Amino acid sequence: MKNRKLVMIPGPTPVARSTQNEMGRETTAFGDPLFVRDFKGLIEDLKVMMNTDGEVFVVAGTGTMAMEMAVANVTKRGDNILLVSHGFFGDRFIDLCQRKGLNVDVLASEWGKAVPVEEIDRKLSEKSYAAVTVTHVDTATGVCAPVAEIGEMMRKHPETIYIVDGVCASAAEPEDMAGMGIDVLLTGSQKAFGVSPGLAIVWAGKKALERRKQLGTIPEFYIDFEKWLPIMENPAKYFATPAVNLIWALKDAVRIINEEGLKERQDRHRKVAKATQAAMEALGFRILAEEGYRAVTLSNLIYPEGVDDLEFRNTLSEEGVFVAGGLGAYAGRMFRLGHMGNIDMHDSVSAIAAIERTLYRLGKHSELGKGVGVFMKEMMG
């Protein structure tokens, strides 16, 4: 019998059966009072989850659209924007912002390292920036930005809107908008929330909503906060059709998150990440992200000497586990193992065991059980 496929990529992540069932429900009218009640409850839960003093926008689209929505609503053509980049997804803001006619400055780190907070502070002190973007976890490098520390520093620059891309972090890494001074936080449904792709979620604090008002009419239509505000306040109203079944699915995912407890969920992610990374190091992999800045949602693992990327990932796929390849300069030298959202102990042990079988089949590993042993000891310790 063939192994079941285990998807361990940094999104889409495994979707719980109950969440899948929500997508299989008969689609109703968006004005159906029962749906309106569900949507309203979801909006309230999401605002509480990230502790915002403003609004959350749940709109059909992906994480990339959420990035665009964040920038479009707090900047105008000719404004300065500072992009802090720890990899491919931080860099994604460059083209996005240049197309909007923004003056773009980039602070980029070497892959695997983080930009020092003092450097961001220095840059923000040089001229007036309308906004700064920080990718909480850059999926290309597995670097987790110190968003709380940056938020603390941002208090010295109240004219600048602090945007955090949480696509690979939200619901797994700690994020507290009011507490950390985050003005706009964005994510997509298919990463740590554990929902199928298709929803963009953007939280905007009071300061960001005020900035949007000051801008007057903006060129964007579908992603304009002002168009969606009346709907988020009263989902019985219409602007553009809500993704009814995905909204139900997200509501179920939020129920799962709240049942586990947000704090407990963050702790679980931290523990699983630490144990997984220890296991992978014991098997000879190197972790790209420097210590102190490692994400809890995924691991970016550089191959031991002599392991061929395609051979490794193809064999691993035969063993039943899908992982993602490296990006940029690390294509062919690294693979990316997602461990966020609904990944449980069974999944982690199986994935590490499959990695061991793969290395064994490639003639690169003989001590079967070593990685699994390290993982379990870390988890039980």
H helices within the chain, ranges in order?
A: 17-23, 33-50, 63-72, 88-98, 117-126, 147-154, 177-180, 206-214, 225-233, 244-260, 262-282, 309-318, 345-361, 370-380
Based on the shown chain and the rule CB under 6 A, indicate whether residue 64 belongs to the binding site for ligand PLP.
yes
Instruction: Number of residues interacting with ligand PLP: please give it, by CB under 6 A.
Output: 12
In whole angstroms, what is the distance from residue 290 CA to residue 47 CA? 32
Among 50, 167, 223, 262, binds ligand PLP (CB under 6 A): 167
Among 168, 208, 232, 272, binds ligand PLP (CB under 6 A): 168
Among 80, 135, 342, 348, binds ligand PLP (CB under 6 A): 135
Among 19, 52, 133, 139, binds ligand PLP (CB under 6 A): 139
Select from 58-66, 251-259, 325-333, 367-375 the region that touches ligand PLP (CB under 6 A).
58-66
Q: What letter represents residue 103's amino acid?
A: N
Shortest distance, CB of residue 242 to ligand PLP, whole angstroms? 18
If we measure between CA atoms, which residue out of 325, 364, 16, 293 comes closest to residue 145?
Answer: 293
| Binders in 15-34 for ligand PLP, by CB under 6 A | none
**How many residues does the structure list for the chain?**
381
Shortest distance, CB of residue 84 to ligand PLP, whole angstroms? 12
- Listed in sequence order, the residues at least 6 apart from 352 whose beta carbon sits closer than 8 Å to its beta carbon are 276, 279, 280, 371, 372, 375
3-state secondary structure of 109: coil
16 CB burial (10 A radius; 0-12, 13-18, 19+): middle
Residue whose Cβ sits closest to ligand PLP: 63
- With respect to ligand PLP, which residue has the nearer C-beta, 211 or 336? 336
Shortest distance, CB of residue 53 to ligand PLP, whole angstroms? 24
Among 89, 162, 285, 293, binds ligand PLP (CB under 6 A): 89
- 136 token code pair: 């909480």
Based on the shown chain and the rule CB under 6 A, indicate whether residue 142 belongs to the binding site for ligand PLP.
no
Based on the shown chain and the rule CB under 6 A, indicate whether residue 300 belongs to the binding site for ligand PLP.
no
Shortest distance, CB of residue 233 to ligand PLP, whole angstroms? 26
- Asked if 328 and 90 count as a contact pair (C-beta separation under 8 A), the reply is no
If we measure between CA atoms, which residue out of 377, 321, 334 comes closest to residue 139?
Answer: 334
Among 63, 194, 205, 341, binds ligand PLP (CB under 6 A): 63
361 among the known binding-site residues? no
- With respect to ligand PLP, which residue has the nearer C-beta, 73 or 139? 139
Identify the bridge partners of residue 60 per DSSP, sorted by sequence position. 199
Pairing of strands 143-144, 103-108: unpaired
In whole angstroms, what is the distance from residue 198 CA to residue 66 CA? 11
In whole angstroms, what is the distance from residue 274 CA to residue 238 CA? 45
Select from 96-104, 105-113, 164-172, 223-231 the region that touches ligand PLP (CB under 6 A).
164-172
Among 79, 165, 183, 319, binds ligand PLP (CB under 6 A): 165
Select from 72-80, 117-125, 131-139, 361-369 the region that touches ligand PLP (CB under 6 A).
131-139
Based on the shown chain and the rule CB under 6 A, indicate whether residue 188 belongs to the binding site for ligand PLP.
yes
Residues comprising the binding site for substrate? 336
Site for ligand PLP, rule CB under 6 A: 11, 62-64, 89, 135, 138-139, 165, 167-168, 188
